[in-house]
């Protein structure tokens, strides 16, 4: 039975959806004012793996991940660039999709934009005002009355009295309480805006997700997910808004991905340790980056470093080296379990790991056991090796891994400063000619020169193959 850790209850429990066999999941997406960074990649890959696994277990998953395409940062950046908000956001959305595609992240079923749901946002704010949970202020903003919602802080165990004592209201603010947060912002000169019953303005960040999730999934849904920085105040505010307006539970399960640190420090532009996804992909194979992100449990923090990515490359090479040379069937539909009786036992252990709150480290350790066994079978039984290799690919595919041709991955894409594939093949031909002429000194010289370039040669009866060493 699938067990999921719930941020709200602070414990793992058997997962029970609202509708048998159906899972409705909403994940907070990106505010599209800049290129996505490696922390965004962590959340993307995390919930992509979760969605892939749930579907592999025959759940019908409706995965919604929103796009915030209007907020202070977006307006400021568009002004700095001399472009419209729409021009900036459409460009950044396209870049986000490029990054996702490179990482093998599948698109969500629905990807609502805040600006396309202004009517729903206005309706939700009106309901909150009618119920006394919100109020129009003298400055044209509309605020939420935090202290009116008795359960405020239940997701992150925040105490309202302590929050109040640690807050202050600026002299020019129109809030009733320092805890109140904005639902609708009055327009400022030069800003994008929409008409509302309270004057021209735009939505606050928190109300967007309450409106979009309600529109796409209803008043109550199964799973709400997001990044490590969102539980407070964003998700607390979502709960307060939605449950006050709808009169029912907002989300039954809350899931949050862990943070990414850089050499054990918080990632920050001010510290000079901030990396966009495309920065990283310029240096590393996208599958290496995905493996690096997926091999750590989704709730744990990841320490990003050059050494960590190099280690991920070495680990992936172990998989591809085991798969290399195995003649797999052309059709993925062919069942080969009968070719190796142990394949089913490995599969069950993989599923047990993933059923335990999506324990990818344990699941990947099962895959490593499988490739160790595969290396033995390649020497003793071709049919058993093919059967086990097929199962490795099937299970790894659930994690979005091992999607490349083994030989192509091991040879790697030519990078700046590396000897290219055509030159390597030419040197191998020269080495073969030297061996044929019994010029073993020249043969060894070529082999050693390639080894210095990180190119490893493997001789067999079929000829000479090669791969790049990390």
Q: How far is CA 339 from its chain centroid?
A: 35
Q: Residue 78: in which H helix or E strand, if any?
A: helix 72-81
Domain 262-411 has CATH 1.10.3720.10: no
The model carries a pTM of 0.89
Q: What is the rounded average pLDDT of the residues 453-462?
A: 73
Confidence of residue 434 (pLDDT cuts 50, 70, 90): confident
Q: Give the pLDDT score at 277.
A: 97
With 70 as the cut, is the pLDDT of residue 223 above it?
Answer: yes
Q: How far is CA 270 from its chain centroid?
A: 24
Question: What ranges do the domains of the chain cover?
Answer: 3-257, 262-411, 421-468
Confidence of residue 329 (pLDDT cuts 50, 70, 90): low
Q: Which CATH number is 3-257 given?
A: 3.40.50.620
Query: Quick one: CA torsion of 247, 218, 240, 75, rounded to 10 degrees?
Result: -150
- Alpha-carbon dihedral sign for residues 298, 301, 306, 311: negative
With 60 as the cut, is the pLDDT of residue 224 above it?
Answer: yes
Confidence of residue 422 (pLDDT cuts 50, 70, 90): low
With 90 as the cut, is the pLDDT of residue 274 above it?
Answer: no
Q: What is the rounded average pLDDT of the residues 93-119?
A: 98
Residue 373, helix vs strand vs coil? helix
Q: What is the rounded average pLDDT of the residues 243-268?
A: 93
- Known binding-site residues for Zn(2+) equal 28, 209, 234, 238
Give dist(CA 466, CA 343) in Å, integer: 29
Asked which of 139-153, 231-245, 263-277 is least confident by mean pLDDT, the reply is 263-277
| Antiparallel, parallel or unpaired: β 302-304 and 260-262 | parallel
- Known binding-site residues for ATP equal 269
Q: Where are the alpha helices (DSSP H) in 194-259?
A: 205-217, 236-246
Q: Do domains 3-257 and 262-411 have the same CATH topology?
A: no
Q: Give the pLDDT score at 118.
A: 98
- Known binding-site residues equal 28, 209, 234, 238, 269
Tens-place pLDDT, residues 107-150? 999 999 999 999 999 999 999 999 999 999 999 999 999 999 99
């Amino acid at each position: 039975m699938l067990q999921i850790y719930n941020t709200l209850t602070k414990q793992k429990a058997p997962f029970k959806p609202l509708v048998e066999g159906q899972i409705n999941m909403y994940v907070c997406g990106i505010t599209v004012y800049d290129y996505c960074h490696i922390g965004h990649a962590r959340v993307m890959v995390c919930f992509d793996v979760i969605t892939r696994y749930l579907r592999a277990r025959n759940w019908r998953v409706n995965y919604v991940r929103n796009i915030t395409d209007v907020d202070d940062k977006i307006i400021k950046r568009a002004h700095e660039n001399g472009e419209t908000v729409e021009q900036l956001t459409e460009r950044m959305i396209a870049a986000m999709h490029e990054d996702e595609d490179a990482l093998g992240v599948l698109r969500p079923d629905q990807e609502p934009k805040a600006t396309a749901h202004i009517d729903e946002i206005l309706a939700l704010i009106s309901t909150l005002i009618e119920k006394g949970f919100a109020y129009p202020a003298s400055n044209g903003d509309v605020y939420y009355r935090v202290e009116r919602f008795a359960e405020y802080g239940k997701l992150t165990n925040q105490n309202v009295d302590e929050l109040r004592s640690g807050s202050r209201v600026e002299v020019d603010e129109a809030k009733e309480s320092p805890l109140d947060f904005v639902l609708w912002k009055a327009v400022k000169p030069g800003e994008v805006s929409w008409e509302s019953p309270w004057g021209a303005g735009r939505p606050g960040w928190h109300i967007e997700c309450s409106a979009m999730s309600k529109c796409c999934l209803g008043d109550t849904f199964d799973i709400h997910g997001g990044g490590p920085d969102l539980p407070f105040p964003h998700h607390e505010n979502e709960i307060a808004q939605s449950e006050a307006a709808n009169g029912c539970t907002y989300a039954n399960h809350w899931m949050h991905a862990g943070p990414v640190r850089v050499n054990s420090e918080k990632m920050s532009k001010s510290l000079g340790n901030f990396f966009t996804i495309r920065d990283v992909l310029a240096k590393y194979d996208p599958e290496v980056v995905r493996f690096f992100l997926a091999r750590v449990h989704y709730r744990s923090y990841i320490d990003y470093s050059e050494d960590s990515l190099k280690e991920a490359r070495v680990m992936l090479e172990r998989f591809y080296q085991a798969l290399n040379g195995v003649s797999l069937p052309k059709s993925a539909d062919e069942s080969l379990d009968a070719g190796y009786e142990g394949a089913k036992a490995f599969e069950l252990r993989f599923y047990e790991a993933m059923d335990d709150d999506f324990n990818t480290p344990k699941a990947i350790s099962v895959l490593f056991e499988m490739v160790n066994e595969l290396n033995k079978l390649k020497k003793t039984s071709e049919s058993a090796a093919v059967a086990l290799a097929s199962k490795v690919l099937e299970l790894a595919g659930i994690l979005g891994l091992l999607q490349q041709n083994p030989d192509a991955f091991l040879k790697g894409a030519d990078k700046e400063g590396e000897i290219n594939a055509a030159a390597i093949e030419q040197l191998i031909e020269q080495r073969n000619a030297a061996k044929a002429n019994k010029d073993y000194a020249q043969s060894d010289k070529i082999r050693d020169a390639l080894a210095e370039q990180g190119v490893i040669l493997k001789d067999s009866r079929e000829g000479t193959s090669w791969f790049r060493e990390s």
